[in-house]
Amino acid sequence: MAGQIIVSSIKTDSDNSISFVANTGATIFSANLASGLSASSFGNNTITSDKIVSVANTKIDGNIVSSQITSVANTQLTGTVTSAQVGSSVYEGMGMRNRIINGDMRIDQRNAGASSTPSVNGTYLVDRWQLGFSAGLASKFTVGQNLNSVTPPVGFTNYFGIQVASTATPSSTDNSYFAQPIEANNMSDLAWGTANAKTVTLSFQVYSSLTGTFSGSLFGYSSGRSYPFTFSIASANTWTSISITVSGDTSGTWAISNSGFLYVLFNLGSGSSNLGTANAWSGTQYFGATGSVQLVSNSAATFYITGVQLEVGSVATPFERRPFGTELALCQRYFCKTFSTGTAPAQNTGYTGALGAIAINAGASTALWAHFQFPSEMRAVPTITTFSPTAANANWYSPAGPSSTTSAGSFGNSTRFANIYNTTAPAAGANIVYYVQATASSEL
Amino acid sequence: MTMYKLLINPLGLVSSVQRLSDNAFIPFDPMNSDYAEYLKWLAEGNEPLPPDQPE
C-alpha cells in the first residue's frame, strides 16, 4: 500500500528508542535517540563521505583507507601509525635516521676518486669505508669510487667499486670484506644486549658481474657477536635493491662510548671457519654465511655498491639525502685534512690549504709552530701525518726557497686541534713563512 | 714489519710515537686505533727506536 502519514511529532518509548521495520519484517533502522547513532543503526551499512557534511568533532572508529580521506584540513590521527602505513614521501623529510655515514659513497677525502689495490689490511677508501683482509688475501682487489664507470642507480652519482685483481681460494681462516665500523655513541639507543633490543633494517643497492647468494654480517666491534645475512643477485650487471631486517641482539655486551659498536660488513671471500649460519645471532664472529658467493675466487669479478642505509625499524625507507656539507662534517669526525676537499693527501701537491708559520729568526734558535684546527670534534685524539707542499718529504717549505731539514712533528694534541711544529729551525730565512700540509685520522 | 720511533715533545716528555712507514704521529690515546695497533706490535715483542735527544 502506497501512501504517507503526516504527523507533527513521534514519541519514543520509555528508553528513547525508535525503529523502522521493512515489509520483510527486518529492522532497517534503529537507534536510541538519546545516545546517538551507531553503525548498527544502519544495519552496518557504510556511510559515504557525501552523507557527512560540516560535522565538527566527528569521531570515527575503525580503519580508514586513503581513498576515504580527501582534502580534510586539520585532520588529526591518534594512536600508533606504523611505518608501513606511511608513504615514502613522508620519510624523505625525516632526517638523521641512517646510521651509516657516506652510504652513497660520494665523499672520498683520501683518494679523490683514484683507484688502488690495497696491500694493508684495514685500508680506508671512500670516507668511513675500509677494505679488510687476512694476510693470505692481500692485494687481491682493485677498488675505487666509481670504479670502471658503470652508470650508478637512479638518484645516485657515486658507488664504490671492487674488482678482483688476482684470484685466490680462501683458506679456512682467511677473510676479506668491505665494511664500515659504526661508533657506539651513534647506536646506544638500540639497547642491544637487553630484552628491549631494537630491530634494524639494512638496505642498499648492489651490482655484480656474478649472480647468486652473496653474504655479509653485522659484526660486533667488541661484543664478540655477529649476525651473518644473505642477499640474492638474480641478474648480472644490474642494480638490485636489497633490504634485510634484523631483530636486535638481546645477548652480548655492546659498547656505549666513542669506541666501535659494529661493522656493517660485506663478505668478499672468506674461509669456512669465518662463515656461519645465516639469519641468526651468534657468539662467533662470522664474516658471512656458509655457501655464499666467494667473489675473490672469480677472475675479474666485480661488486659495486651504494645507497647503504642502516635504520631502526622493520621497513627500509628511501635512502636519506643529507646535504654535502653535513655528510662531510660527519666524515670529518674520523678523518680531516688541510688539503682541499678534492685533493688527495700526498707529498708535493702544493700550498693550497697548507698551514703556515713564520720563522722569526734564522737558524737553530727558532722553532716553527702552526695550529691545525679540526673542522669537527674528532672521535679520539687523532694520528697526525704531515706532508711537504713542494717536495717528496714531510718537511716545512717556503715559497721563498728555504726548507726545514727534518720532518714536521706534532704534540699536545686533542680531539679539537693539533700542534704541528719543528724544533730544528730552517737554516736560513728570518721572517719567512713556511708551510706544511697535514691530515688527522681518528678512524675506528 | 711496521717500525716505530718514540718522540720527545718540546717539553722533554715522550708523548707520542712515530710510524716510520708514513711519518704519522700517533698519540698515546687508548681510543686511537693506530695506538692500539702499536700496543699490539709491542706485545709481540717488538721495540720502538729510541727518541732523538733534544739538542
Tell me which amino acid residue A207 is.
Y
Tell me whether residue A326 is exposed, middle or buried, using C-beta atoms within 10 angstroms of its C-beta: 0 to 12, 13 to 18, 19 or more: exposed
Pairing of strands A288-289, A275-276: parallel
Answer whether residue A394 shows pLDDT above 90: no
Tell me which amino acid residue A112 is.
A
* Section A31-45 average pLDDT: 67
Say whether A413 and B32 touch across the interface (CB within 8 A): no
Flag whether residue B12 sits within 8 Å of chain A, measured between CB atoms: no
Provide the shortest C-alpha distance from residue A221 to chain B (in Å).
12
Q: What is the pLDDT of residues A184-209, one digit of tens each?
A: 999 999 999 999 999 999 999 999 99
Residue from A334, A393, A411, A422 whose CB has the most chain B CBs within 10 Å, to mutate: A411
Q: Which residue did the predictor score with more confidence, A42 or A108?
A: A108
Note whether A288 and A218 are within 8 A (CB): no
Can you give the pLDDT at residue A423?
A: 62
The CA–CA distances, whole Å, from A166 to A296, A298, B3 equal 8, 9, 29
Answer whether residue A372 shows pLDDT above 80: yes
Q: Indicate whether this complex's ipTM tops 0.90.
A: yes
Q: How far apart are CA A100 and CA A250, in angstroms?
A: 22
* Section A346-367 average pLDDT: 82
| pLDDT > 90 in chain A, percent | 67
Q: What is the pLDDT of residues A113-141, one digit of tens each?
A: 999 999 999 999 999 999 999 999 999 99
Say whether A409 and B32 touch across the interface (CB within 8 A): no
* Section A380-385 average pLDDT: 96
Among A28-32, A55-59, A86-90, A341-345, the range with the most confident prediction by mean pLDDT is A341-345
Say whether A367 and B10 touch across the interface (CB within 8 A): yes
Q: What is the pLDDT of residues B29-43, one digit of tens each?
A: 999 999 999 999 999
Residues facing A207 on adjacent strands: A304
Q: Which residue did the predictor score with more confidence, A442 or A87?
A: A442
Specify the range with the lowest mean pLDDT, choosing from A114-123, A290-299, A339-348, A354-363.
A354-363
A130 vs B contacts (CB less than 8 Å)? none
Provide the shortest C-alpha distance from residue B8 to chain A (in Å).
9
Answer whether residue A66 shows pLDDT above 70: no
Can you give the pLDDT at residue A73?
A: 62
Range A390-395 contact pairs with CB under 8 angstroms and sequence separation of 24 or more: A390/A348, A390/A350, A390/A351, A391/A347, A391/A348, A392/A347, A392/A348, A393/A347, A394/A347, A394/A436, A394/B23, A395/A422, A395/A436
Answer whether residue A407 shows pLDDT above 80: no
Cβ-based neighbour number of residue A319 at 10 Å: 23
B7 vs A contacts (CB less than 8 Å)? 409, 411
Look-up of cell digits 685466490: A168
Taking alpha carbons only, the member of A316, A310, A263 closest to residue A99 is: A310
Task: Mark the ranges of chain B whose per-residue pLDDT is less than 70.
Answer: 1-2, 54-55
Q: How far apart are CA A263 and CA A259, in angstroms?
A: 12
Q: Which residue did the predictor score with more confidence, A153 or A256?
A: A153
B10 vs A contacts (CB less than 8 Å)? 367, 411, 421, 423
Q: What is the pLDDT of residues A254-295, one digit of tens each?
A: 988 999 999 999 999 999 999 999 999 999 999 999 999 999
CB nearest A385 (choices: B23, B29, B55): B23
